Amino acid sequence: MRTGISTATGLLLGFAADRLFADPARLHPVAGFGSAATALESLTYTDKRSAGVLHEVVAVGAVVGLGVALRGAGRGGVAVTALATWTVLGGRSLARTGHRMAECLDRGDIDGARALLPSLCGRDPSVLDADGLARAALESIAENTSDAAVAPLVWGAVAGVPGLLGYRAINTLDAMVGYRNARYERFGWAAARTDDLANLAPARVAALLTVALAPLAGGRPSAAWRAWRRDARKHPSPNAGVVEAAAAGALGIQLGGLTRYRHGTERRPTLGDGPAPTVPDLRRAVRLSEAIQVAAVVCAAGVAALRH
């Protein structure tokens, strides 16, 4: 089977596995990578950018090397690509958590919704009311539709198994050390910047799909495009701002404003026009996310099939 067709088939099968089974409940390879990265950090950590660069190169390089070795040994075919795709995708779990959050908020179970929020983002749920929880969940779904679904598929289409595994390693390290706090401001710099670079193209693919699919969430492509072009640059992240602004425009709501994290409070720029999001908007966001994921895997499979 031609390499491109093999990769495309593996991406589609891995996506189907994610739809059917979501993330593995136990012995998740990403969790194993996180444990290995923590052990590595005990050896590489000093409060210097150079140490963070070494940490990034060793951790990501080892994972990409594994992917290259599998491909070079002739084991990068359909089955391995499908398994790698299932391993790195998190779209089904993201949508499922969004639905559960909406259900909790619908029945007034604020404690249940607060317990779910840490699986979506790093905000302090104890200070959020129902509307605050809905906004936090919606913003996280918009951003993670790109990070957990579109980006792995883009990299899988471009680089096969090494791209799938390498992207997930980059994104996981950013979530572990890419913070601007006393411990990681310098050490985590390389992880944060590498993640920004790895997501530049995927975030814009996700935003384009958001624009195109806005009618499925009751929105207008023109509004999504306008919010993206006008508001994305206000956001401190070069990628989160793109997908969140496009989602706000597609849903006809306004995101941003006062945002409480465990490390403190920030006033984020406002994205989009309209009222603050409510529970029905959260449900629409989940529906939009699922449509974007399906469109992304179709596009990724098409690109992969044309590569060779």
> Mean pLDDT over residues 23-43, rounded?
88
Confidence tier at 180 by pLDDT (50, 70, 90): confident
Flag whether pLDDT at 263 surpasses 60: no
Q: Are 117 and 66 in contact (CB under 8 A)?
A: no
Residue 95 is predicted with a pLDDT of 96
* Cα 34 → chain centroid: 16
Given this model, what pLDDT does residue 70 score?
A: 83
Higher pLDDT: 266 or 86? It is 86
What is the domain range of residue 38? 3-306
Looking at the chain, the number of H-run helices and the number of E-run strands are 12, 2
> Distance (Å, rounded) from C-alpha 196 to C-alpha 279?
30
Find where tokens 């739809």 sit. Answer: 19
**How big, in percent rounded to 5, are the helix, strand and coil portions of the chain?**
75, 5, 20
Q: Which one-letter amino acid corresponds to residue 137?
A: A
**Which of the four pLDDT bands, split at 50, 70 and 90, describes residue 158?**
very high
Contact (CB, 8 A) for 210 and 292:
yes
State the alpha helices, DSSP H only, in 146-255: 151-177, 189-213, 221-231, 240-251
Contact status, residue 190 vs residue 273, Cβ threshold 8 Å: no
pTM: 0.93
Residue 256 host element (H or E): strand 255-261
Q: What residues have CB less than 8 Å from 231, skipping those under 6 apart? A: 241, 245, 248, 269, 270, 271, 272
Report the domain count for the chain. 1
State the greatest distance between any 2 C-alpha atoms of the chain, in Å, as a whole number.
55
Query: How many Cβ atoms are within 10 Å of 37's Cβ, its own excluded?
Result: 23
CB-based contacts of 219, cutoff 8 Å, min separation 6: 249, 250, 251, 252
Q: What is the pLDDT of residues 52-91, one digit of tens each?
A: 999 999 999 999 999 998 876 655 589 999 999 999 999 9
Lowest mean per-residue pLDDT among 26-30, 220-224, 284-288: 26-30
Query: Judging by beta carbons within 10 Å of its beta carbon (0-12, 13-18, 19+), is residue 129 exposed, middle or buried?
Result: exposed
Structure-token match 């779209």, residue found: 91
Average pLDDT over residues 238-246: 97
Computed over every residue of the chain, the mean pLDDT equals 93
pLDDT digits (tens, 9 = 90+) for 99-121: 999 999 999 999 999 999 998 88
